[in-house]
Amino acid sequence: MMARRFITEILAFVVALAVWQVLSMAHIWPEVLFPSPLQVLATFHDDLLSGVLLLNLGVSLKSLLLGFVVGCVFAVPLGYLMGLSRTSRDFFDPLVNLLQAIPGLAWIPFAILWFGLGQGAVTFIIVMSVFFPVLHNLLTGIRMVQPVLVEAVQTLGAKKIDVIRHVIFPATLPNLMTGIRLGIAFGFRSLVGGEMIASTDGLGYAIFNAQQYFQSARIVVGMLTIGLVWLAMDRLILRPIEQRTTMRWGLVREGLEQA
């Protein structure tokens, strides 16, 4: 079962690579516009050995994680506060809605003015991008908590703090996980955009810089690295958390098929 699934998943990459290789071998476009998989692999190998890839990756991951953590540190408590208190919801809701419509990248000019060119500015933009999807999904999750669960534990003697700990928090976990996924995804977008404009290192900067020198294989290396990092985060961190919590509890399934 596991093996079959693994093979199916690997197959997708094999097919994508084959199509890419065939297209590049057909020489429809010049190599600078459409680099071949082998070219990309060679560049990947070079950049890995020279250390430049890992250096840029390290810089980007640091901004991403810091921005993500700071964004969540503000969004998660505010989400529970707004979800559980009518007054604070009425107070914050219009403001949050107004700010939500502003893309993270729109903060670039101020980010540069406030933090100067560099990863400080990039981190700030990531914070602004992570904050809203996490908050929004958390609020949706709190709205979806079944009142009967709260009432049931109240008749067992639960006080407000017990209700939050034993009902609200686990019940909102599926939506919180969705918020975290979207938050990281939005964070990646802002990371690359932010580094192109507001930084002198990182993966986004590397992609931007490669374009200046027509190193199209290097652009693809940067793009694929981002994709692979996300895939690794999903497989090694987010999915195991979900398998141990929301899926185990029967709140979320992988799909609708039987077995």
Partner 1 sequence: MTDLLVASSVSKIYFDTVEKNNVKALDDINLSIRPHEFVSVIGPSGCGKSTFLRLVAGLDRPTSGEIKVADRKITGPGADRGMVFQEYALLPWKTTAANIEFGPRLKKLPKTEREAITRRFVELVGLKGFENKYPHQLSGGMRQRAAVARVLANNPTMLLMDEPFAAVDAMTRQHLQEELAAIATHERTTVLFVTHAIDEAVFLSDRVIALSGRPGRIVADRRIDLPRPRRWEALVNDATFAAHRDELTRCIHGKAQKET
CB of 102 to partner 1, least distance (A): 35
User: Does residue 223 bind partner 1 (CB under 8 A)?
Assistant: no
Is there a contact between 191 and 126 (Cβ–Cβ < 8 Å)? yes
Q: Name the residue with tokens 């000019």.
A: 109
Q: Which of 156, 236, 256, 259 binds partner 1 (CB under 8 A)?
A: 156
Q: Which of 9, 31, 90, 151 binds partner 1 (CB under 8 A)?
A: 151
User: Does residue 240 bind partner 1 (CB under 8 A)?
Assistant: no
Tokens of 12: 């997708």
User: Does residue 162 bind partner 1 (CB under 8 A)?
Assistant: yes
User: Does residue 251 bind partner 1 (CB under 8 A)?
Assistant: yes
Question: How many amino acids of this chain bind partner 1 (CB under 8 A)?
Answer: 22
User: Does residue 157 bind partner 1 (CB under 8 A)?
Assistant: yes
- Of 63, 179, 53, 183, the residue nearest 111 (C-alpha): 63
List all residues 6 or more positions away from 54 whose beta carbon is below 8 Å from its beta carbon: 48
173-212 residues in contact with partner 1 (CB under 8 A) are 173
List all residues 6 or more positions away from 149 whose beta carbon is below 8 Å from its beta carbon: 167, 171
The angle subtended at Cα 85 by Cα 162 and Cα 133, nearest 5°, is 95
Give the binding range for partner 1 (CB under 8 A) out of 15-23, 98-106, 170-178, 232-240: 170-178
Q: Which of 66, 81, 158, 223 binds partner 1 (CB under 8 A)?
A: 158
**Strand, helix or coil at 203?**
helix
CB of 146 to partner 1, least distance (A): 8
Q: How far apart are CA 216 and CA 39, in angstroms?
A: 9
Q: How far apart are CA 24 and CA 38, in angstroms?
A: 10
50-79 residues in contact with partner 1 (CB under 8 A) are none
User: Does residue 152 bind partner 1 (CB under 8 A)?
Assistant: yes
- Of 44, 47, 32, 46, the residue nearest 215 (C-alpha): 32
Q: Which of 72, 167, 206, 226 binds partner 1 (CB under 8 A)?
A: 167
- The contact set with partner 1 (CB under 8 A) reads 146, 148-149, 151-158, 162, 166-167, 170-171, 173, 245, 248-251
